[in-house]
Amino acid sequence: MNKIHPLATVSPEAKLGDNIEIGPYAFIDANVEIGDGCRILPHAVIFQYVKMGKNCSVFPGAVIGAIPQDLKFEGEVTFVEIGDNVTVRECATINRGTKASGKGVTRIGDNTLLMSYTHVAHDCNVGKHCILVSYTGIAGETDVDDWAILGGGTVVHQFSKIGCHAMIGGGSKINKDIPPYALCGRDPVCFAGINIVGLRRRGFSSDTIRTIKDIYDTIYFQGYNISDGIAKVEAGFPQSEERDNIINFIRASKRGIVQSLRAGERPNVD
């Protein structure tokens, strides 16, 4: 049985699952689907063309499904798709996709946390188990892969890509792609090592972590340009999921990946 407060506004055309809680002054538009067990707290707003999975929580002041903040948007039908167990905290915003991008959908993966005042722009793809800390903003068509964490106040240039298991320090300005497993920060943002704490917490073995470190040492700290560095990695390291993730990410990068620390500041990640 759903628990809908009498002061909430819920369109009769919205599709609601079971055991949903909707608080006072929440607004749910037509063409919205909300899965079982979701909590839509007071003053949250869900506009049209949003599909939300199970057991999600949307906190007061959050706005999901507003039209894109993009002058190329012409009123077309586009979407927001949210997975299961997603938490959208106070005053966070998630905009719909655009036709111009060729995607038409903004996606948030399962088990992701969007903290207060975060912004996910049109046509972004945020993976599973990600954390966007308060005041982070990702511009249109940004891809954030699974398990990435963006520190508070991070701002991300449009079309950027952030690899899986990457960790970005708070207040960073991202204008290049962040490769998988990387620890990045400073101003200007740069590669500062690998996300060793995060990888350990997620069960990566010591040998795997060492291999990732050695791969990035080859790419960043042995005097090669990026192309030659990944060629050396491909020739010198046995095939593995981690090696292939790094190689494929860098080769697919259109903006280029972040630079390393300044000369003489090789990171210690032991």
CA distance 110 to 150: 17
Q: Taking the C-alpha atoms of 206, 212, 213 and 217 in order, what is their torsion angle to the nearest 10 degrees?
A: 160
Query: Which of these is catalytic: 70, 110, 123, 145?
Result: 123
- 157 carries an active-site annotation: no
CA 206 to chain centre: 26
Residues contacting residue 8 through CB under 8 Å, at least 6 positions apart: 22, 23, 24, 25, 26, 27, 28, 40
Both structure tokens of 196: 């060793």
Query: Which of these is catalytic: 127, 140, 151, 169?
Result: 140
Query: Which of these is catalytic: 29, 53, 97, 122?
Result: 122
Contact 162, 183 (CB under 8 A): no
CA 251 to chain centre: 20
25 phi and psi, to 5 degrees?
65, 5
Strand partners, 199: none
Residues in the chain: 270
Contact 114, 91 (CB under 8 A): no
If we measure between CA atoms, which residue out of 78, 39, 81, 85 comes closest to residue 62?
A: 39
Strand partners, 29: none
50 phi and psi, to 5 degrees?
-115, 130
Give me the amino acid identity at 45: V
- 122 carries an active-site annotation: yes
- 143 carries an active-site annotation: no
Q: Which residues are catalytic?
A: 122-123, 140
